């Protein structure tokens, strides 16, 4: 038991601390840090992942919001390696600037984190905004969220998150982690997922904003046909010109179909 940390877990900050050595080792193995990698951990908490990563890699940058954890984390980290702690909200951290600083000459950062579950979607979208600066991401999330991220058309859980992430990244669910691996134990299973942003040349989306608008509108009313859900965004002629059926529903349309429609709209 680490006596450096005396604070109880804060629910509003999504604090479920990992304690199962086997699960922690599996995450570190999945990340497989290599010399020269610029690793950034989101939400180090009490260091469950931070310290093993430091022992393997020597140095890393971590972003933690909870002020009460900053001093004990810095103190405990010294025995394991060099920790640079960014004290604040991960959503306010410019990953592109961080990559330019940590990995100059076009290098990218690698993101790792057992994410606060209440913020997982905003963090994923924030990372997506900086996808060109990120080499890969290994995140622990609620299993249900990982299922949504990786789902394909026809699945009940295929939605905005699936389409937005898969247009920009390869999404690979890795393994499930049971509630007992955390303190306090969450109510649901968790899962670790790997996201690898596509090289910019392989991203087919012409205009991010148009694409995001089309996907948001299409899934905003997922029970409606595309013709109705996209009212005001794309008319039937455009929908059909993109090779889609206007009477289909968003959950039946593959990622490439949304990309074609958005590119057509962005083209004027």
**Residue showing the smallest CB distance to ligand SAM in the complex:** 43
Between 86 and 206, CB nearer to ligand SAM: 86
Residue 92 has what DSSP assignment?
G
**In angstroms, rounded to a whole number, what is the distance separating the alpha carbons of residues 184 and 95?**
30
Using the minimum distance from each CB to ligand SAM, give the nearer residue, 53 or 226. 53
Minimum CB separation from ligand SAM for residue 104, in Å? 25
Backbone dihedral angles phi then psi of residue 244, each to the nearest 5 degrees? -110, 155
Q: Cα(223)–Cα(229) distance, rounded to whole angstroms?
A: 9
Q: Is the peptide bond before 85 cis (omega within 30 degrees of 0)?
A: no
Annotated ligand binding at 228? The verdict is no
By the criterion CB under 6 A, which residues form the site for ligand SAM? 13-18, 42-46, 48-49, 63-66, 89-91, 114, 116, 119
Instruction: State in angstroms the smallest separation of the CB of 99 from ligand SAM.
Output: 18
Ligand-binding site membership of 43 (annotated): yes
Dihedral angle at the C-alpha atoms of 184, 190, 194, 197, nearest 10 degrees?
-90
Q: Which residues pair with 39 in a beta bridge?
A: 110
Q: Taking the complex as a whole, how short is the minimal distance between the CB of residue 177 and ligand SAM, in angstroms?
A: 10
Whether residue 18 is annotated as binding a ligand: the answer is: yes
Residue 99, token pair as written in the block: 């990559």
Q: Confirm whether residue 240 is marked as ligand binding.
A: no
User: Residues annotated in the binding site, as ranges?
Assistant: 16, 18, 43, 64, 89, 114
User: Residues annotated in the binding site for S-adenosyl-L-methionine, as ranges?
Assistant: 16, 18, 43, 64, 89, 114
């Amino acid at each position: 038991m680490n006596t450096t940390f005396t604070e109880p877990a804060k629910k509003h900050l999504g604090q479920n601390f990992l304690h199962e050595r086997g699960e922690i080792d599996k995450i570190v193995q999945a990340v497989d840090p290599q010399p020269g990698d610029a690793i950034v951990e989101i939400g180090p908490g009490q260091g469950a992942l931070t310290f093993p990563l430091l022992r393997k890699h020597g140095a890393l940058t971590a972003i933690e919001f909870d002020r009460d954890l900053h001093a004990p984390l810095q103190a405990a980290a010294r025995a394991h390696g060099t920790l640079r702690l960014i004290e604040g909200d991960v959503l306010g951290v410019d990953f592109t600037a961080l990559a330019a600083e940590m990995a100059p000459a076009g290098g990218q950062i690698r993101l790792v984190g057992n994410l606060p579950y209440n913020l997982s979607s905003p963090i994923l979208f924030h990372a997506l905004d900086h996808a060109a600066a990120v080499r890969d991401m290994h995140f622990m999330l609620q299993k249900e969220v990982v299922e949504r991220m990786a789902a394909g058309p026809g699945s009940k859980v295929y939605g905005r998150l699936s389409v937005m992430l898969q247009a920009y990244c390869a999404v690979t669910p890795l393994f499930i982690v049971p509630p007992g691996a955390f303190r306090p134990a969450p109510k649901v299973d968790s899962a670790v997922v790997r996201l690898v942003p596509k090289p910019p040349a392989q991203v087919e989306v012409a205009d991010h904003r148009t694409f995001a608008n089309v996907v948001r509108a299409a899934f905003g009313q997922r029970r409606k046909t595309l013709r109705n859900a996209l009212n005001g965004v794309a008319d039937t002629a455009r929908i059909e010109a993109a090779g889609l059926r206007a009477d289909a529903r968003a959950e039946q349309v593959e990622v490439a179909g949304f990309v074609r429609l958005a590119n057509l709209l962005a083209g004027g």
